[in-house]
Structure 1
Amino acid sequence: MFDKGTNPLAAGDILNALEAALYRGRIGRRRFMQLALATGASLSAARAMAQEGGDAAITQLYNAQNLADSYDYIVVGSGSGGATVAGRLGETGASVLVLEAGDTDQIEAVLNPAMWPTNLRGERDWGHTADATDKVNGRQLILPMGKVVGGGSSINVQIWARGHKNDFDMWAAEAGDDAWSYDNVLEIYKRIEDWQGTPDADRRGSGGRVWVEQVQDPNPVAPAMLTACESVGIPAYADMNGVMMEREGGAALANVRIKDGRRVNVPQSYLYPVLKQGNVTLLTGTEAMTLIMEGTTCKGVNFVHDGQMKSARATRVILAAGAINTPKMLMLSGIGPKAELDRIGVEARVDLPGVGQNFQDHVLVAGCIWEYKEALPPRNSLAEATFFWKSDGALDGPDMQPFQIEVPYATEVTGPAYTPPAGAWTLSPGLVRPKSRGRVYLESSDPMAQAKVDAQFLSHPDDLKTVVHAIELCREIGNSDAMKDFVKREVMPGALSPAEMQDFAKNAAGTYFHQSCTCKMGRDEMSVVDGKLSVYGVEGLTIADASIMPRATTGNTMAPTVMIGERAADILLA
């Protein structure tokens, strides 16, 4: 794309900004062409970008100013599930309205893979915080969720982790629907992927819309960690999503959604290609309030746009607002536990006791830290190597997923206590099969008030036991001979007594930002959706986000949420 002699990184940054301005209608095609060519972009590339971006901008501007009264589908949320299902539905020519509370994703803080931490607790984060609990020493753990086009796929760490075989076989058993089994889910992953790593025809796809690559040119500390894992009996694999996740686990470099040094969020793969079509409207800065209900039938959505309350009707509404805001909308609309609805003064239309219950998130400990002998700069998304392993050999799959983070990663308690130096790296113990269960609840019927989260992190004694086990395992790996070239000293936690290590775990515990499971799929009385993702007792309403997981997947949740969006689209279009 760029002529020799230009600085590709600087030119790419400028072109990103120009493309964003074009999509948002801030500059016209002619001016875009002039400026794009000045960055060194080829004429053919500039023309293609100008045509596509200009068409999309004009179409979206017109659609936003001329909202229809009704659509075939309304999708609430443009995150990993919402963007996927909206894009798939839009390809058919159906009229689709996508409501997104946040703003554009075409900004440096999203597109630059290394800048993801700057999105947390800022304007692109809903700012949720878990209730304080003595199980984490009275701390209130932050629960970042994306409030931007792309949701979590725009603000989190770009890891493509598909989940363990046993996750999906468990889902299929819960739903009583073999379409959710690993063998069937694997076919979806193969269909959508454009895998850039070592070919694996049995497990990986090529030529699909979802670009996935292994981290490129990793920091040497990352492959060293794989060798260190092997030294303690954890096998290393070439692909974190291959045969490793059909077995007991292992160590691998990360699969990421990064292309040419830029983040590739889910809307870029699914939603942007249909924005220039007149049938799809992406309405940003728009917060959904409640569902339009007629009896027990969902007829549309009430929402606030440009400070005004508006509404639109649809043949089908798809909730993809995430595991906190999806149950919030259901409860505000009279769908949820009757006792909870009575408490906040909302008339119960459908008594569904499972709405908001079963909250899960992966625990990530911040962290086990070592000072470099000679500091090395982080690469890619700052996190390039991980491993999955069992804390107990009797388990049916890995329950631990530590991640190596190439900067010092500590909490508001452990940071001041240990004062890690800037030139340090972290091995963060992770718990990905938590037994603790929390809940999402409301304190009032005010749609503008945030939902509350009683997360109950580490409330189950087995979770604390597993986290302590993971800390000790990470210390063994970090202090092994394989890591000695990268270690001047262990910064934290060091050797501690069992009681001290439990206290450290409570002070160091955080989350992976993988909120899920609050509207679970299943057949028992606490289930919210069936195997077709339809809400029990409600006509015209589908859920397509991580809230439908009966149990959180083993690993980062972007990939399985995309798969959920694909399943939702397959079901709706069947």
Structure 2
Amino acid sequence: MTDVASSEERDFSMRARDNQARLTAGLQSRYDVVVCGAGASGSVVARRLAENPQVQVLLLEAGGSDEAESVLDPALWPTNLGGERDWGFQAEPNPHLNGRQLALSMGKGLGGGSSINVAVWARGHRSDWDFFALESGDPAWGYENVLDIYRRIENWQGAPDPKFRGTGGPVWVQPAPDPSPIAGAMLDAASEIGIPTFEHPNGRMMEGDGGAAISDILVRNGRRHSLYRAYLRPWLDRPNLTVLTGAFVRRVMFDGRRATGVEFLRDGQVTTVGASTEVVLSLGAIQTPKVLMHSGIGDREELGRVGIPLLQHLPGVGRNFQDHVSFGCTWEYAEPIAPRNSGSEATLYWKSRPDLDAPDLLFCQVEFPVPSDRTAARGVPAHGWTMFAGLAQPVSRGRLRLRGPDPLASVAVDADFLSDPADMTTARTCVELCRALGNARAFRPFVRGEAMPGELKGEALDLYIRDAAVTYWHQSCTAKMGRDEMSVVDSTLKVYGVDGLRVADGSIMPRVTTGNTQAPCAIIGERAAETIRKAHGL
């Protein structure tokens, strides 16, 4: 960064800080739009609405600042797991994982998951977006329109590809620079076993059977460029955008069937703030349905069980829980190789069966060992790499349940990973493909050998899979968009049966997208802002 750029950045930072200090000190009783959650979708919604200087936007975020080395240095992302920037959700013990209870980390703070994730930018497969369009009945959710949005929002730093990539948008996207030789070996191994490789993973590769590529990442000049940094931070000096951190949203307030504001907790004080136009929930796939239920929106029996008065019966709230589940296979390095960038630089998508029309397996190479709590006991090499691979389209579905009427009480998450036998069948194929890749000739100069799972068959392999299974941290689908009785929002993301309330985050996905979810969440934010502007002439 040049001295002039550094000076401009310091001036902006000071101006933004002073502006937000004034705005939060003089918090108004009512705003045009209240957005709840400053994550991968909420940051987009708030920025796009605040682009109209006549619209007063309040953004509430339960966590704090992203000004921390553990956030800004993309290599330090694992250090945030279990810390103050992690909500710390835990799934219930799962009999299909041999009774294990998985941690379901989700980002808490400005940027949400985009501030603590692996920084991978993966748009999803053509079939995902066409399925969204089919489920919602709105072609604007289809692949061709979504591709146009991606071109519009990207500032692509790789080789020019105008059919698939854009260069004028707020989201700085680049191929992982100077990737590790182990990432190159991953692509060579894919070619060796008949899987095609591509210049980048967000174009032709995700329109067909899949393939392998060096990952696209949200890193700029070696620093994390989260969706908060891309969209929201440049707007913090504006007089019509107020960002309030440390604000835990308890429930949405209603006058009859119209959302009129939200109740939140900050510094031990419960405060209500009004929304004259709309409330937008962008709290993620666990907190959003939780807030809906505490607001009286959900399954009649579920709310009655904990004594919450029913406002709107929507049995799909908290149902249809999905996540990508992974089974790590590990190899020992012949000589230590230090991780580069975020430590995940190569990705691969492929099909478990040739008759499928889209990939159902997701592979992210991780340049260090990633055992589960159980597989760690099998012996982890001091230096090695992991094929963090799993189910891109799981069949199993989970659900969320309230523990009681107190909004501060934790929610019970029955993730139910591997509860459907079809997922176990796919998982076996996934592990077999992992081993074929990791034991290919391309890796022989770099590895001493396979550390786990090794030549396991039958029940021994199934035991390994259930012991190795971990989350990809892609929780989604708990307030799904659609037109059936289990749908929670319509094609405009408006909550059924009430007015003035929308949901914009990964919970609206009818099914989890193929790949990492932050890029699809940016699209959800863009679509939400577009529909709100259109509905209210903003």
Q: Distance in 2 between matches of 1:248 and 1:461?
A: 24
Partner of 1:121: 82
Q: Distance in 2 between matches of 1:436 and 1:550?
A: 14
Partner of 2:243: 282
In the alignment, structure 1 residue 385 sits paired with structure 2 residue 346: yes
Q: Distance in 1 between matches of 2:522 and 2:6?
A: 30
In the alignment, structure 1 residue 204 sits paired with structure 2 residue 161: no
Compute the displacement of 1:51 (Å).
2.1
Partner of 1:394: 355
User: Which residue, 261, 264, 277 being the options, matches 2:225?
Assistant: 264
Cα-to-partner distance string for 1:272-313 (whole Å, 9 max, x where unaligned): 111111111110011000111112111000001121111100
In the alignment, structure 1 residue 90 sits paired with structure 2 residue 53: no
Secondary structure of the 1:60 match is helix
Partner of 2:284: 322
Partner of 2:321: 359
User: Which residue, 489, 494, 506 being the options, matches 1:534?
Assistant: 494
User: Which residue, 471, 487, 505 being the options, matches 1:511?
Assistant: 471
Partner of 2:394: 434
Compute the displacement of 1:396 (Å).
2.0
Q: Distance in 1 between matches of 2:6 and 2:524?
A: 35
Q: Distance in 2 between matches of 1:229 and 1:293?
A: 54
Secondary structure of the 1:80 match is coil
8 Å CA contact 1:161–1:241 kept in 2: the answer is yes
Compute the displacement of 1:509 (Å).
0.2
The one-letter amino acid of 1:185's match is V
Q: Distance in 2 between matches of 1:267 and 1:355?
A: 27
User: Which residue, 311, 315, 318 being the options, matches 1:349?
Assistant: 311
Q: Distance in 2 between matches of 1:50 and 1:374?
A: 43
Compute the displacement of 1:174 (Å).
0.4
Secondary structure of the 2:345 match is strand
In the alignment, structure 1 residue 558 sits paired with structure 2 residue 498: no
Secondary structure of the 2:320 match is strand
Q: How does 1:176-191 map to 2 (within 5 A)?
A: 176-191=137-152
Cα-to-partner distance string for 1:29-50 (whole Å, 9 max, x where unaligned): xxxxxxxxxxxxx1x2233123
In the alignment, structure 1 residue 302 sits paired with structure 2 residue 266: no
Cα-to-partner distance string for 1:150-169 (whole Å, 9 max, x where unaligned): 00000111000000000010
Please list every run of 5 or more consecutive structure 1 residues that lacks an aligned counterpart in the other structure. 3-41
Compute the displacement of 1:199 (Å).
1.5
Q: Distance in 2 between matches of 1:70 and 1:381?
A: 41
Q: Distance in 1 between matches of 2:311 and 2:467?
A: 42
Q: Distance in 1 between matches of 2:167 and 2:126?
A: 20
Q: Distance in 2 between matches of 1:147 and 1:498?
A: 41
Q: How does 1:99-248 map to 2 (within 5 A)?
A: 99-248=60-209
Cα-to-partner distance string for 1:528-547 (whole Å, 9 max, x where unaligned): 00001100001000111000
8 Å CA contact 1:429–1:467 kept in 2: the answer is no
Cα-to-partner distance string for 1:42-96 (whole Å, 9 max, x where unaligned): 1x22331232111111111111111101001000000000000001111111111
Q: Distance in 2 between matches of 1:439 and 1:394?
A: 30
Partner of 1:39: none
Q: Distance in 1 between matches of 2:6 and 2:475?
A: 40
The one-letter amino acid of 2:325's match is V
Q: TM-score, normalised by structure 1?
A: 0.92
Partner of 1:445: 405
Q: Distance in 1 between matches of 2:388 and 2:375?
A: 13
Q: TM-score, normalised by structure 2?
A: 0.98
Q: Distance in 2 between matches of 1:47 and 1:479?
A: 51
Compute the displacement of 1:116 (Å).
0.3
Cα-to-partner distance string for 1:439-473 (whole Å, 9 max, x where unaligned): 11101010111111101100011111111111111
8 Å CA contact 2:208–2:357 kept in 1: the answer is no
Compute the displacement of 1:374 (Å).
1.0
8 Å CA contact 1:212–1:256 kept in 2: the answer is yes
Q: Distance in 1 between matches of 2:227 and 2:382?
A: 32
Cα-to-partner distance string for 1:337-383 (whole Å, 9 max, x where unaligned): 00000000000010011100000000111x11111111110000011
Q: Distance in 2 between matches of 1:273 and 1:425?
A: 37
Partner of 1:408: 369
Partner of 1:25: none
The one-letter amino acid of 1:407's match is F
The one-letter amino acid of 2:374's match is V
8 Å CA contact 1:327–1:355 kept in 2: the answer is yes
User: Which residue, 234, 253, 265 being the options, matches 2:214?
Assistant: 253
8 Å CA contact 1:290–1:329 kept in 2: the answer is yes
Compute the displacement of 1:552 (Å).
0.5
Partner of 1:46: 6
Compute the displacement of 1:201 (Å).
1.3
Cα-to-partner distance string for 1:126-185 (whole Å, 9 max, x where unaligned): 000111111001001111000111000001110000000000101100000000000111
How many aligned residue pairs are there?
Answer: 532
User: Which residue, 453, 466, 469 being the options, matches 1:493?
Assistant: 453
8 Å CA contact 2:46–2:57 kept in 1: the answer is yes
Partner of 1:331: 293
Identity among equivalent pairs (%)? 51
Compute the displacement of 1:403 (Å).
1.2
Q: How does 1:16-55 map to 2 (within 5 A)?
A: 42=3, 44-55=4-15
Q: Distance in 2 between matches of 1:388 and 1:222?
A: 15
Q: Distance in 1 between matches of 2:454 and 2:352?
A: 20
Please list every run of 5 or more consecutive structure 2 residues that lacks an aligned counterpart in the other structure. none
Q: Distance in 1 between matches of 2:389 and 2:19?
A: 47
The one-letter amino acid of 2:167's match is S
Cα-to-partner distance string for 1:471-507 (whole Å, 9 max, x where unaligned): 1111011111111011112111100122101100000
User: What is the alpha-carbon root mean square deviation over aligned residues?
Assistant: 0.8
